[in-house]
Amino acid sequence: MVSRVSPRLPSKSNPDDAFAALVALAGRAGVGITRVVHRTDKAIVATGTRAGRPVVAKLLISDDPYWVSRRAHELDVYARFASDPPPVRVPELLWADDRLTVLTNVPGRRLHDERHLTRDISHAKVQLVLDTLEALTQWAPDPALPEPIDYHGRIHGEFAAQLLDDAERATLHTLVDRIGPDRVTAHGDALPANLLIDEDRCALVDWEHSGRYLPGHDLALLYTVGAAASPTLATAITDRVAAGGITTEYTMNLVLLVCREIRIHDSLPLGAAPAHRMSTLRDLHIRLRQQLRPASR
C-alpha cells in the first residue's frame, strides 16, 4: 500500500466534478474506474481494476470531522486484518491516501440493496449470515478495538429525544451497570447492504463502525431493519439470543437501535420511506418499552 496526500477536492455539490476527482485520484493509485455503485454526500464508491485485479475505490468527499475520523478508524481496522486476520471474509486494503481507499473487490451479492429488508430471507442465507456475525464476536485482536458506544450517553440521548421516559431511562442505566464491562467484537453496521453472499460464504464490508459492543449488537441491528419483512430472520435471531444467554444485552442494544432508527426516519423528507415503516418501528418500540420493567428485575 502506498500512502500520499490527495489534492484538494472540488465542491461535493457538483457530482460531475466529484466523479472526475475520483477518476483522477484512482488513476494515481493505478486503478481504472469502471462504474459508480454508490454515491452519498459522504463518499463515492466505484468498482474498477488494478493490475488486472477487481477492486473497489472509495473516495471520501465530506470534510465532516466525524466521517474523517470514522474513515481513519476503518483504515486502522484493515491494518489489523493484515496482521491478525479475523475469522470472517473481509476486503484487503491495497492503497490509501487521505481521501481515497482502494480495496479488493470481495465476491458476493448484497443480502439486500436497501437499508430495510422488503422480503423474507431463506433459512440457509439467514443461518449463513448469523454464523458469520457470531464468528466475528470471537475475534479479539490485541490491542483491543475501541468501544464506539457510550451506552449511558446513548440512553441520555434517547431520553432527551423523548423516546424513553424517566422509568425506562433508569432501568436501562441499571442494566448497563449490571451487565458490566463485557464487550465483544462487532461489525457495528450489519445492514443488509454490508453483507455479501457468495454461495456458502458471507463477507462483511464497510468497517467504519466496528469495535467492541455489548453482545448482540449486530443481531439487534439486523432485527431492527429486517424482522418485519423476514419472519425467518426474526425467529432465527430470537433463537440465537436465547441460546447464547444474551437476552439482556441484546435487548439493551435493540432498544437503543430502534430509538435511533425512529429518529433517522423522523428526519427523512416526506415520502422518502414507505409509510408503513414508521408505524412498524413505533410498534416495535412500544413492545420493547413494555419489556423493560421485567428485564430490570
Residue 14: predicted pLDDT: 62
DSSP state of 84: S
Query: What stretch of H or E contains 254?
Result: helix 247-266
Q: Look at residue 122 in the predicted model and tell me its pLDDT.
A: 97
Let me know: does 114 contact 192? Beta carbons within 8 Å. Answer: yes
Residue 26 has pLDDT above 80, yes or no: yes
- Domain 15-105 matches domain 110-295 at the CATH topology level: no
Residue 17 confidence (pLDDT): 76
Which residue has 432485527 as its cell numbers? 223
Mean pLDDT of 98-124: 96
Q: What single letter denotes the amino acid at residue 243?
A: A
Kindly report whether the peptide bond that precedes residue 143 is cis, defined as omega within 30 degrees of 0: yes
The band of 294, judged by pLDDT with boundaries at 50, 70 and 90, is low
CATH class, domain 15-105, is alpha beta
Question: Residue ranges per domain, the chain?
Answer: 15-105, 110-295
- Residue-level pLDDT at 208: 96
CA distance 74 to 172: 30
Mean of pLDDT values over 17-40: 90
pLDDT of residue 21: 87
Give residue 38's pLDDT: 87
Determine contact, residues 57/33, Cβ cutoff 8 Å. yes
38-94 pLDDT tens trace = 898 899 999 999 999 999 999 999 999 999 999 999 999 999 999 999 999 999 999
Mean pLDDT of the chain: 92
Residue 84, amino acid: D
pLDDT of residue 11: 47
Q: Grid coordinates representing 131?
A: 454464523
Over 60: is that where the pLDDT of 2 sits? no
The overall longest dimension of the chain from CA atoms, in Å, is 60
Measured CA to CA, the distance from residue 189 to residue 218 in angstroms comes to 7
Of the listed ranges 17-31, 92-106, 179-193, 198-212, the one predicted with least confidence: 17-31
In CATH terms, the superfamily for domain 110-295 is Aminoglycoside phosphotransferase (APH), C-terminal lobe (3.90.1200.10)
Q: What is the mean pLDDT of residues 167-184?
A: 95
Positive or negative, the CA dihedral 278, 223, 136, 92 is negative
Q: What is the pLDDT of residue 1?
A: 54
Distance CA 106, CA 199 (A): 13
**Contact by Cβ (8 Å): 43, 208:** no
Q: Provide the pLDDT for residue 220.
A: 98
**Does 9 have pLDDT greater than 60?**
no
Tens-digit pLDDT profile for residues 188-225: 999 999 999 999 999 999 999 999 999 999 999 999 99
Please write down the HEC assignment for all residues of 197-248.
Answer: EECCEEEECCCCCCEEECCCHHHHHHHHHHCCCCHHHHHHHHHHHHHHCCHH
What are the tens digits of pLDDT across the range 270-293?
877 788 899 999 999 999 999 887
What is the DSSP track for 152-194? HHHHHHHHHTTSS-HHHHHHHHHHHHHHTT--EEE-S---GGG
Q: How far apart are the first and last CA of the chain?
A: 53
Average of per-residue pLDDT across 148-156:
97
Q: In what order do the strands lie in the sheet with 100-104?
A: 31-39, 43-50, 53-60, 100-104, 93-96
Indicate the burial class of 86 (C-beta count within 10 angstroms; 0-12, 13-18, 19 or more): buried
Q: Tens digit of pLDDT for each residue in 230-273?
A: 999 999 999 999 999 999 999 999 999 999 999 999 888 887 77
Which of the listed ranges 5-9, 25-29, 119-123 does the model predict with the highest average pLDDT?
A: 119-123
Top pLDDT among 286 and 8 is at 286
Percentage of residues in the chain having pLDDT higher than 90: 85
CA distances from 92 to 55, 82, 111, 126 (A): 10, 8, 20, 25
